[in-house]
Structure 1
Amino acid sequence: MDSNLLKVFIAVANTKSISNGAKELGFTQSNMTLRIKQLEKILGQELFHRTNKGVVLTQEGEKFFPYAVDIVKKVEEATLKIRNINHQELLRIGSTQSNTTIRLSKFIDKLDKDFKDMKLEFVVDSSLNLIEQLLDYKLDIAFVNGKPKQKDLEVLNVFKEDIVLVEPKDKEPENIIYSYKNGCLNRIFLEEYLTEEKKVQYKKVNIENYELILSCVKTGYGVALFSREIIEKFGYENKLKITSMDFRLDTYLICRKDYLPMIEGYLRQITL
């Protein structure tokens, strides 16, 4: 079976769209449709239901998906070995915005020094979205907030965070929780904490700029949860009321258990 047909199947299944799958692989939509039909003919089963919003896997497609992913992975691994490649050519890295702000540049510098020929690709997103992309084999590793519970994920390293609640110094804040974006675990943890402590419902507001969030908190518009290192980086340590939290929300460097990076040992030992 042609592994390229399987790559087409995986792309369409992940994007739930033939057109989006085509964009991901750089194919035309008609080419993608033809290849899907070829694969369905080989298997003797329909793999997708066509809907007005795109496509969804049939029951047979859902059963076939993990086998397709495994076959493509094994073909890629075999190709690397045949070409006598014994180093990581490309590392696809996912990172939360908080880790990007305080740690990712140091990580890049170390990789550049120790693996000159390795290319890097980056995705910055919320922890929940990064985990989803990692499980879909779209990333090789990811820095996420909090220890993941998914059984298919492996923890490579842990970076301790001093998590603090930030509030305005001399005024009562509005009942607003600021965070970077939906899926941000800082917001989820803070909402649970404040709801339990103060028995008040909070409005949630996303702002994709940490310095602006800190400025809004300083002015009294709401509260937020940060690593202390971020507050210090932007020079707000003396401008806010800062309260240490009694829960851990460390940064975890993770990968798939069945898709360990070739530099696994290096990643387990790295300090940042």
Structure 2
Amino acid sequence: MDSNLLKVFVEVAKEKSITKAANKLNFAQSNVTSRIKQLEKSLGFSLFHRVPKGVILSNEGEKLYPRACEIVKKIEEVTYDMKNINKQEHLIIGSTESNAATRIVSFLLQVHKDYPDMNLELITNTTRDITKELLEYKVDIAFISGEPKSDELIILNKVLETIVLVEPKKETCPDVFLSFKNGCAYNEFGQNYLKQISNNEHKNLEFGNYETILGCVKAGMGKSLLPLSIVKKLNYENELRITELPKELANMPTCMVCRKDCIPKIREYLEEYKL
């Protein structure tokens, strides 16, 4: 059985959509459909049922799925180990947008300087999505906001963050919470925090970058909650009213994490690196 067919099957099962799986795999939709049909033909039964919103696993597909996941996982582990059998030749780094805005450039420059022959790849997304990529062996290390919640991950390094509430300096601030897109740890934390300290409901507006968020706060559109390091990095420290949150309420360090079963060969270097 071709393991590449199993990889496509697993992705379709996760996404519950051939179109979404094709986008994730960077395949044409017809290619994914063809590979699923090829796998079904070799096994002798249908793996999916078509539904209005996509596909769902058949009974046979349900039985195959955990075994296919295990096979795909093992092959990815072997591939990773063989590529880095003597040294770390390729490091795929996942990072939150907040970390990318403050630390990732200096980190990449230093790693490249210390390991000039190692290929580096960077993927940015929310804490939720980057953690998912890490758990699926799609990145080697990840910078996430807050402590990892999965037992499959370990912390290699971390830096404490000062979390602040930012509001317009002169304008009266409406009950509008401006945040990064859904999946960002500060988004979830900020909404919960505002519910605790205010009896008023806050409208939530999501944006794709932090400079837009801070610019809108300055203009009086609303308030936001994010690390002080971002406010300083984007030069808004003197443009906004800033309230530092107590550490006991906002203990959200930036953590560099990896899988327990897929620790980079440069682990010691990563642990000693000063974030």
Normalising by the smaller structure, the TM-score range is 0.7 to 0.9
Structure-1-length-normalised TM-score? 0.86
Quote how far apart the aligned CAs of 1:25 are: 4.6
Q: Residue 114 of structure 2 aligns with which residue?
A: 114
C-alpha deviation, 1:177, in angstroms = 0.8
The answer to whether 1:265 aligns with 2:268 is yes
1:181 alignment counterpart: 181
**Equivalence for 1:219:** 219
Partner of 1:50: 50
Q: Which amino acid aligns with 1:259?
A: C
Cα-to-partner distance string for 1:43-75 (whole Å, 9 max, x where unaligned): 555432222333223354344334323323433
Q: 1:248 aligned to 2:258?
A: no
Shift of 1:204: 0.8
Instruction: Map residues 122-137 of structure 1 onto 2, 5 A cutoff.
Output: 122-137=122-137
The change in CA–CA distance for 1:162 and 1:22 in structure 2 (over 3 A counts) is closer
**How far apart in 1 are the matches of 2:131 and 2:39?**
29
Work out whether residues 84 and 90 of structure 2, in 8 Å CA contact, stay in contact via their aligned partners in 1: no
Q: Which residue of 2 aligns with 1:94?
A: 94
Task: Spell out, residue by residue over 1:73-101, the C-alpha distance to the aligned partner (whole angstroms, 9 max, x if none).
Answer: 43344456667842233322221111000
What corresponds to 2:229 in structure 1? 229
Instruction: Go from structure 1 to structure 2 and tell me whether the alpha carbon gap of 1:43 and 1:133 turns closer, same or farther (over 3 Å shift).
Output: same
Other-structure match for 1:167: 167
1:174-198 deviation digits (Å, cap 9, x = unpaired): 1111112122221221221121112
Q: Which residue of 2 aligns with 1:239?
A: 239
CA distance in structure 1 between the aligned counterparts of 2:202 and 2:188, rounded to whole angstroms: 11
Question: Is the contact made by 1:153 and 1:257 (CA closer than 8 Å) also made in structure 2?
Answer: yes
Q: Distance in 2 between the 1:83 and 1:163 partners? A: 39
Q: Deviation at 1:105?
A: 0.4
Computed over aligned residues only, the root mean square deviation of the Cα atoms, in angstroms, reads: 2.7
Further displaced range: 176-185 or 43-52: 43-52
Is the 1:14–1:136 Cα contact (8 Å) retained in structure 2? no
SS in 2 for 1:92: strand
Deviates further, 15-24 or 2-11: 15-24
Determine what percentage of the aligned residue pairs are the same residue.
48
Q: Is the 8 A contact 1:101 1:230 kept in 2?
A: yes
TM-score, with structure 2 as normaliser: 0.85
Amino acid at match of 1:161: E
Residue 237 of structure 1 aligns to a residue whose secondary structure is coil
Instruction: Tell me if structure 2 keeps the 8 A contact 1:169–1:218.
Output: yes
Contact 2:7 2:72 in 1 (8 A): yes
- Give unmatched runs, 5+ long, in structure 2: none
1:253, distance to aligned residue in structure 2 (A): 1.6
Conservation of the 8 A alpha-carbon contact between 2:99 and 2:254: yes
One-letter code aligned to 1:185 = A
SS in 1 for 2:12: helix
Using the TM superposition, name which of 101-110 and 125-134 deviates more.
125-134
